[in-house]
Structure 1
Amino acid sequence: MFSKIVVALNDFPESQRALRTAIELARVCNAELATVSILGDLPAYMSFAIVVDPSAPNTMKEDRRRAHSELHKKASLLAQEHGVRAKSSIVEGREVQAILCFLKDERADLLVIGLHQHDFYLSRLWSSVYDLAQEAPCSVLGVH
């Protein structure tokens, strides 16, 4: 049914539920599993932080990259516990476009994403989910 499953990771609980679903699907379908997370743009306030500490943006970016790496490491261990090998990637760029490029490059046939039920930026979130669903070169599974 599916041969290449991609799951989008972040530090929200919904993402962890999506990961568990993707692992189970990969196991049942004997599919490849890839995890991806987006190292997005730094917040706007970083322009003020540069005045105080010019190295602040680099430090923050490295901290975020380390946190993403830890997230992928835990995901790989969880996948291994269920007999699935996961390839992990951290990509840079705007959320939707970065994931779309990754899906095309990986030739994925399923994207699994966690749906955030309570989010301050709910309209932005649903806009991103809608854009992904419309533009993705593969099927999209949203997990609550």
Structure 2
Amino acid sequence: MFKRILVPTDGSDITLHAVDTAIELAKVHGAELLTLSVMEPFPYSAVSEIQPVPPQEFIDAQHRVASQRVEDVRARATAQGLPCRAHVVEALHAWEAIVDHAKAEHVDLIVMASHGRKGFAALLLGSEAQKVLTHIELPVLIVK
């Protein structure tokens, strides 16, 4: 039924449940597994000369962290005999990067974690999962 499954990762513990679910689904369906981590862009400002961290140092650190996240997913999949393609992208909004990546890679299922924020916290912080659900027309499995 599913041929390409995308599992975004932010490195959190809750994401591991989504990763394990995506791996199992990929194995059952004989699907290709893809993982994605989104790096934050450097927060340029009008007073950039007083930034505590130089831009390239910030970008390099973001890339290291994001790369480690997708490598952790790839290792988890490989340990279960499933190959996994890993991608790192830079975006201001993670949900947009997830939607764009899913479309570009012709994914037919996204498996992602929800941190389960409710009430005022959800209103203030928003939900990446909710935004993905709102902006894409393909199945999204939310794992809590």
Q: Considering the TM-score relative to the shorter chain, is it more than 0.5?
A: yes
CA deviation digits over 1:2-40, x for unaligned, max 9?
110000111211111111110111011110000011112
| Gap regions ≥5 residues in structure 1 | none
Residue equivalent to 2:98: 99
Partner of 1:11: 11
Q: TM-score, normalised by structure 2?
A: 0.86
Aligned Cα RMSD in Å? 2.3
- Structure 1 39/29 Cα, relative in aligned 2: closer, same or farther at 3 Å? same
| Shift in alpha-carbon separation, 1:134–1:41, aligned structure 2, 3 A | same
> Which deviations, in whole Å up to 9, do the C-alpha atoms of 1:15-72 show, x marking residues without a partner?
11111110111011110000011112335xx648843468612211110100111111
The answer as to 2:137 corresponding to 1:132 is: no
* Conserved? CA contact 2:37–2:67, under 8 Å: no
After superposition, give the CA deviation of every residue in 1:57-96 in whole Å (9 maximum; x if it has no partner): 2211110100111111121111011111100011122212
Q: Identity of counterpart residues, as a percentage? A: 28
Q: Provide the TM-score with structure 1 as the length reference.
A: 0.86
Opposite residue 39 of structure 1, the aligned amino acid is M
Amino acid at match of 2:49: V
Which one of 37, 59, 62 corresponds to residue 60 of structure 2?
Answer: 62
